[in-house]
Amino acid sequence: MGRIRLMDEPLSNKIAAGEVVERPASVVKELVENALDAGGMKIEVLLEEAGLLRVQVIDDGNGMDSEDAELSFARHATSKISNEHDLFRIRTLGFRGEALASIASVSKVTLSTSDGTVGTRIQADGGRITGQSAAALRKGTDISVEQLFYNTPARLKYMKTLQTELGHIIDLMNRFALSRPEVAFRLVHSGKVLLETAGSGDIRRVLADIYGVQTARKMIPFEGATHDYRVSGFISLPEITRANKNYVSIFVNGRWVKHYAAVRAIQKAYHTYLPIERYPIAVIRIEGDPYLTDVNVHPSKQQIRLSKEAELLRLIEEAVKSAIRNAVKAPVIEKKPQQRQPRRDAQLEFWKAASSPEENSIPVQTPSDKPAGQVTGEVEQAPPSSGKLPSVGETASSYPEAEPEPVGGWSEGDTSDGESGELREEAKPFPELEVVGQVHGTYIVAQSKDGFYLIDQHAAQERIKYEFYREKAGEVDSSERQTLLLPLTFHYSRDEAYRLRHSLDLLHSSGVFLEEFGDTSFIVREHPAWFPEGAEQETIEGLIEQVLTDRKTDVKKLREEAAIMMSCKRSIKANHFLQKHEMERLLADLKAADQPYTCPHGRPVIIHFTSYDLEKMFKRVM
Amino acid sequence: MKFEIMRDRLLDGLSDVMKAVSSKTAIPILTGVKMDVSADGISLTGSDSDITIQTFIPAEEDGKEILRVSEGGSIVLQARVFGEIIRKLPTNEVEIEINRNFQTHIRSGKSEFHLIGLDPLDYPQLPDVQEEELFSIPADLLKTIIRETVFAVSTSETRPVLTGVHWEVKDGELVCVATDSHRLARRKTKLQSLQEEHSAVIPGRSLNELNKILHDSADPVEVVMTSQQVLFKSRNILFFSRLLEGNYPDTSRLIPSEHKTQVTVNGRALLQAIDRASLLAREERNNIVRFTTNGSEEVEVSSNSPEIGKVEEQLAAGAIEGEELKISFSAKFMMDALKAIDGQDVVIQFTGAMRPFILRSALDDSILQLILPVRTY
Ligand SMILES: Nc1ncnc2c1ncn2[C@@H]1O[C@H](COP(=O)(O)OP(=O)(O)O)[C@@H](O)[C@H]1O
Ligand SMILES: [Mg+2]
């Protein structure tokens, strides 16, 4: 009986704010989108306390007149769409008309705006307008959002450290800068400039501003088009990889979106060039009729529904693939200036006789032409995790119970798996193995009373070395440090550098003394003496990435990571032929390992074919 | 095309150019060797596009006939197979004939091979190096220079320019420098009649291959450089290498000019002592050994691995001047440096336990080796 009541506006806005305004970065996102929609070419974002105390966004866009300025605080007030039809033709970043209202409901806002003819200033507190006056005539908008979540303490409690919140904002601003290279962005936190782009229109320059010149130089352009879509952008050479897909930025009609399938398409394009579980740095710009790209999926406007998605994914994959292939393989043909006459001496006569009439000369390759990742890439894909034997596929599938299985604890994880019905005690001692031979320079074949075994030699050695280095890294003895004549340098993006600066202690504890060197670079003057020679840079990069990717990482994890890297670097690769005594030695070492059955990456080391399996395969028993 | 040739000579030439042929190449035709036959002789070319080697087998040498050409021409043959065939032929005379479609017949004694060749027009042309020679240097000296520096190049691709040896020609002198940042090797060589200035970074791998091909003789080797290529010309060999791009760091300011401790010691004796000490230093710790001065006439070399054991050895020094010193370093780097200085008395100059130190021959100034110590606290 009259209990249902329409909510008053500030309350419903506060509820909506829950969806739109999650954290300071969401405020920045909405305000910068508005600035871009208003045609701003110079956009400045000023922060205090990672935006929780204040976010101020200043643009030089079209501004608003007094009436619109007041209306802009109302829910569902937008100048960007006027009817249902427009919803399918969205070219602006905003369209829901709820951002300002939502933000205002959970903070204190001061808006100064001018369309060039009038200047208006409006103040609002918790969503209620508390003051309105005239303001300066500078065309553009200057909006300050203060004391975010001051009236929703529950939300405030959810905020992570200032560092984390600031990290999100830097990340976001980086994407804006990449999506709109023609706009000059500036991000300032407590007086410190965290990002500044020139607005030159050149994505490569933006990449340099964000990731550093070194990295930007190793980014290659790509493009492609179908009837419906045009894709273009930059991707990193295979030598530059990252541990997560955060470095892949996808923009659809200028809007940064999350699109997992597109990331996968890019990964597929790199194929063997990319080591397992590594991602490139990439900027992918997709343009197509707004009719095909539905962004009205979630209030955050970050998800997108794409029509003709399969076609688009194929386009991306092909465009990226051919760019990589060209960059990695294409030899640089030296131009041959034919002006000078060869000298006439005996040597040259012989030279002339030798040269063919063709105009092309011996191609010259840059060092990056040999993708170092290729070999390891193959190795990493080599062990089939199912333990199936492809060459006897047919026989095996008609006798599924006869499939060989990884030995020991590897199948521990899926004990519920009904298929492995056979008895396999967990704590079975490592079998006494006799070496029979080697297959493809990759697997060792061995036998014992109860059947035969295939051992992945690389995985086996990784396990052995891993246990060694895990202990090594655990000894606090990173105190023996090799000094360096030329320091190693490391370049990171601004937000990475920012986070890294807060993790230096952690790295110190594993013997890596990173020193700041400019805004986004670091140097290392000495490294633990046990780092493998020639792999010092990668080892340190690996540790840094561990710190950057896993915010909760600790010394122990870091050391484990170092141990894994060490073991991988120092292990024999596949396609390496071993002498019999080398194989015997390897198996003896493996037997002595704590966990001989899996490599540090969790893949199987050894697969057992029982005598019974063999008999079944050959239909000697039924 | 048709000719007869002494098998041994063909084999020698082939084994030289094969050093440039790699089975793993993105350009299939480079798995082959190119053979160009004219009345004067045969030239063989092999390349992996970083290194290109061309050897010339003259038709006649010292009045002796090596080759009889009935008809000239060119062909590209699969290097590995062709090399193996020539090596295993039954007699020392080989006849090679190419028909149309690059069908190749190789006859020797009673055996006859048919090989399918490739079109020589598809083979890339030699790098364009037409500059004047920069200088000329005896082959054995060139080999020495390479041996004394190339071992110190970096094996890591993270700074590609460090995988090469920096050659700088200036003031009538050739200065070669290699460093992997853990140690540095520098060799200076006076050159005659040299006005030009030039500097280039030559890949370490190229120099290693060049060293294998050159003979230990005083025959001159001409060195020609362009901005992208270096060419070494000896009597019957042209050796081209791509140069590394990028600026080589200025290392001269990193070499200390003063010292606080100076030790003079027999190089060979020290090398052997370090070698023994490193037996107990573990590879995983990059073989760290400790070096301590003991009064003014003795040094101690020691190593200690808790899990294995320890070793100490006293060594008589010719002279020890200056402050007392305890320093640790990689046994491997020290042994490499001592081997490059080659047995003579060595002067080692230190500026403290954490500073780079240098080694020189007591007899001449041309070689300098620098090593970065290991911090142990
Ligand atoms: N920086 C700005 N410059 C000009 N107009 C603005 C600016 N910010 C907001 N507006 C106006 O306020 C309206 C409401 O903004 P908002 O709540 O973010 O909704 P939306 O962007 O979805 O339209 C916009 O449609 C626009 O007309
Ligand atoms: Mg908006």
Task: Answer whether A364's CB lies under 8 Å from B127's CB.
Answer: yes
Q: Would you call B53 an interface residue with chain A, using a CB distance cutoff of 8 Å?
A: no
Closest by Cα among A111, A122, A113 to A141: A113
CATH superfamily of B135-175+192-250: DNA Polymerase III, subunit A, domain 2 (3.10.150.10)
Residue nearest to atom 4 of ligand 1 (CA): A63
Query: Which of A328-332, A372-376, A606-610, B92-96 is least confident?
Result: A372-376
B117 touching A (Cβ < 8 Å): no
Q: Tokens 């300032």 belong to which residue?
A: A188
CA distance A285 to A283: 6
Q: How distant is the Cα of A575 from the closest Cα of chain B, in angstroms? A: 14
Kindly report the length of chain A: 622
- Which pLDDT score is estimated for A537? 84
- A454, A591 contact by CB (below 8 A): no
pLDDT value for A351:
34
Contact residues of ligand 1, CB 6 A cut-off: A 30, 34-35, 37-38, 59, 61-64, 68, 72, 77-80, 94-101, 141
DSSP assignment of B203-234, as one string? EHHHHHHHHHHS-SS--EEEEEE-SSEEEEEE
- Say if the Cβ atoms of A336 and B244 lie within 8 Å: no
Task: Please tell me which residue of chain B has the smallest CA distance to A363.
Answer: B49
pLDDT of residue B105: 94
**pLDDT at residue A2, rounded to an integer:** 58
Please state the φ and ψ torsions of residue B273, each to the nearest 5 degrees.
-65, -45
**Burial grade of A489 (CB within 10 A; 0-12, 13-18, 19 or more):** middle
Mean pLDDT within A594-599: 77
Between A148 and A388, where is the model more confident?
A148
Q: Do B375 and A486 touch (CB under 8 A)?
A: no
CB atoms A486 and B376 under 8 Å: no
- Residue-wise pLDDT for B214-255, tens only, equals 999 999 999 998 888 999 999 889 999 999 988 999 998 889
Q: Which of A280-289, A330-339, B44-53, B202-211 has the lowest mean pLDDT?
A: A330-339
ipTM: 0.80
- Ligand 1, atom 20: closest residue by C-alpha: A97
SS3 content of chain B, % helix, strand, coil (to 5): 25, 45, 30
Torsion-angle region of B135 (φ positive above 0: left; ψ -120 to 50: alpha; else: beta): beta
**CA nearest neighbour of B50 among B160, B169, B167:** B160
| The domain over range B2-122 is classified in CATH as 2.40.30.30 | no
Angle at A17 between CA A16 and CA A18, to 5 degrees: 85
Looking at the domain that runs over B255-371, which CATH code has it been given?
Answer: 3.70.10.10
- Which ligand is the nearest neighbour of the Cα of A140? 1
H or E stretch at A122: strand A119-125
List chain B domain ranges.
Answer: 2-122, 135-175+192-250, 255-371
Sign of CA dihedral B371, B213, B204, B143: positive
Q: Identify the closest residue of chain B to A355 by CA–CA distance.
A: B125
**Nearest ligand 1 atom to alpha carbon A103:** 17
Is B210's pLDDT higher than 90?
yes
Two tokens at B338?
A: 């001592």
Q: Give the minimum alpha-carbon distance from A237 to chain B in angstroms, rounded to a whole number.
A: 14
Q: A72 CA to middle of ligand 1, Å?
A: 6
Pairwise CA distance, residues A522 & B249, whole Å: 18
The overall longest dimension of chain B from CA atoms, in Å, is 81
Give residue A589's pLDDT. Answer: 86
**What is the pLDDT confidence band of residue A367, given thresholds at 50, 70 and 90?**
very low
- Residue B29 DSSP one-character state: G
Burial of A578 (C-beta count, 10 Å sphere; 0-12/13-18/19+): middle
Min Cα separation B47/chain A (Å): 8
pLDDT higher for A209 or A14? A209
B58: left (phi over 0), alpha (psi -120 to 50) or beta: beta
- Write the burial class of residue B11 (CB in 10 Å: 0-12 exposed, 13-18 middle, 19+ buried): middle
How many residue contacts between A and B have a Cβ separation below 8 Å? Answer: 156
pLDDT in tens, A128-143: 899 999 888 889 999 9
Residue B234 sits at the chain A interface (C-beta within 8 Å): no
Q: How far is the CA of A64 from the centre of ligand 1 (A)?
A: 9
* φ, ψ (nearest 5 deg) of residue A251: -120, 125
Whether A358 and chain B come into contact, CB under 8 Å, resolves to: yes
Flag whether residue A530 sits within 8 Å of chain B, measured between CB atoms. Answer: yes
Q: Using CA atoms, how far apart are residues A73 and A68, in angstroms rounded to an integer?
A: 9
In this predicted structure, the answer to whether residue A503 has a pLDDT above a threshold of 80 is yes
Amino acid, single-letter form, for residue A349: E
Q: Which of A358, A530, A537 sits opposite B125 (nearest CB)?
A: A358
Establish if B220 touches chain A: CB-CB under 8 angstroms.
no
Strand ranges, E, within A430-585: 434-439, 443-448, 451-456, 481-491, 514-516, 521-528
Question: pTM for the complete prediction?
Answer: 0.61
- Reported as a single tens digit per residue, the pLDDT across B244-286 is 988 999 998 889 989 999 999 999 999 999 999 888 766 555 5
Q: Residue A185: its pLDDT value, please?
A: 96
Q: Helices B204-213 and B139-149 meet at what angle, rounded to 10? A: 140
pLDDT tens across B120-140, in order? 988 888 887 777 778 889 999
Instruction: Return the SS3 of A294.
Output: strand
- C-alpha B172, offset from chain centre: 23
**Closest among A253, A327, A328 to A287, alpha carbons compared:** A253
With contacts defined as CB-CB under 8 Å, which chain A residues touch B54?
351, 354
Say how many Å lie between the first and final Cα of chain B, rounded: 72
Q: Is the dihedral of CA B235, B236, B242, B244 positive or negative?
A: negative
Express as a percent the part of chain A with pLDDT over 70: 73
**In angstroms, what is the span from residue A82 Cα to ligand 1's centroid?**
14
Pairing verdict, β A229-236 and A282-288: antiparallel
- A171 vs A569: which has the higher pLDDT: A171
Band (pLDDT 50/70/90 cuts) for residue B24 is: low
**Which of the two residues, A296 and A493, has the higher pLDDT score?**
A493
Phi, psi of B147 (to 5 degrees): -60, -35
Query: What confidence score (pLDDT) does residue B362 get?
Result: 86
Phi, psi of A596 (to 5 degrees): -70, -10
A147-199 tens-digit pLDDT = 998 888 877 777 777 888 898 999 999 999 999 999 999 999 998 888 999 99
**Is the pLDDT confidence value at A112 over 90?**
yes
Q: In whole angstroms, what is the distance from residue B309 CA to residue A39 CA? A: 74
Please indicate whether, in this complex, the C-beta atoms of B27 and A529 are within 8 angstroms of each other.
no
A364 to B242: CB separation less than 8 angstroms, yes or no:
yes
Question: Per residue in A276-324, pLDDT tens?
Answer: 667 889 999 999 888 888 777 777 777 888 888 889 999 999 999 888 8
Q: For A219-231, what is each residue's pLDDT tens digit?
A: 999 999 998 899 9
Q: Which of A356, A367, A369 sits opposite B120 (nearest CB)?
A: A356
A94, A20 Cβ separation under 8 angstroms: no
Average pLDDT over residues A75-87: 72
Chain A CA closest to residue B254? A485
Cβ of residue A344 closer than 8 Å to a chain B Cβ: no
On the question of pLDDT at A418 being above 70, the answer is: no
The amino acid at A239? E
Cα(A172) to ligand 1 centroid in Å equals: 19
Contact map slice: A 304-333 vs B, CB within 8 A: 329, 331
Q: What is the reported pLDDT for A408? A: 43
Q: Which residue type sits at A141? A: T
Examine domains B135-175+192-250 and B255-371 and report if their fold is the same: no
DSSP secondary structure code for residue B317 in this structure: -
pLDDT at B293 over 70: yes
With 90 as the cut, is the pLDDT of residue A524 above it?
A: yes
User: Is B303 at the interface with chain A, CB within 8 A?
Assistant: no
- Placement of tokens 């300025």 in the chain: A69
Return the ligand number nearest the Cα of A141: 1
Task: Give the 3-state secondary structure percentages of chain A, helix then strand then coil, rounded to 5.
Answer: 40, 25, 40
Segment B171-184, tens digit of pLDDT? 889 999 999 999 99
Distance CA A584, CA B294 (A): 46
* Residue whose CB lies within 8 A of the most ligand 1 atoms, among A41, A42, A58, A72, for a mutation test: A72
Residues of chain A contacting residue B240, judged by C-beta atoms under 8 Å apart? 362
Closest atom, ligand 1, to C-alpha of A57: 1
Contact A231, A282 (CB under 8 A): no
Q: What is chain B's mean pLDDT, rounded?
A: 90
What is the gyration radius of the CA atoms in chain B, in angstroms? 25
Yes or no, beta carbons of B158 and A334 under 8 Å apart? no
Query: How many Å is the Cα radius of gyration of chain A?
Result: 31
Residue A389: what pLDDT?
30
- Render the burial of B176-209: b for 16+ CB within 10 Å, e for the rest: bbbbbbbbbbbbbbeeeebeeebebbbbbbbbeb
Tell me the residue length of chain B. Answer: 377
Looking at residue B373, its pLDDT comes to: 95
Go through the domains of chain A in sequence order and give each one's CATH number: 9-196 (3.30.565.10), 218-326 (3.30.230.10), 377-412+428-462+574-617 (3.30.1540.20), 479-529+533-569 (3.30.1370.100)
Q: Output the six-digit token pair for A90.
A: 């969205």
Using CA positions, which residue lies closest to atom 11 of ligand 1? A72
Residue type, B340: A
Choose between B14 and A532: higher pLDDT: B14
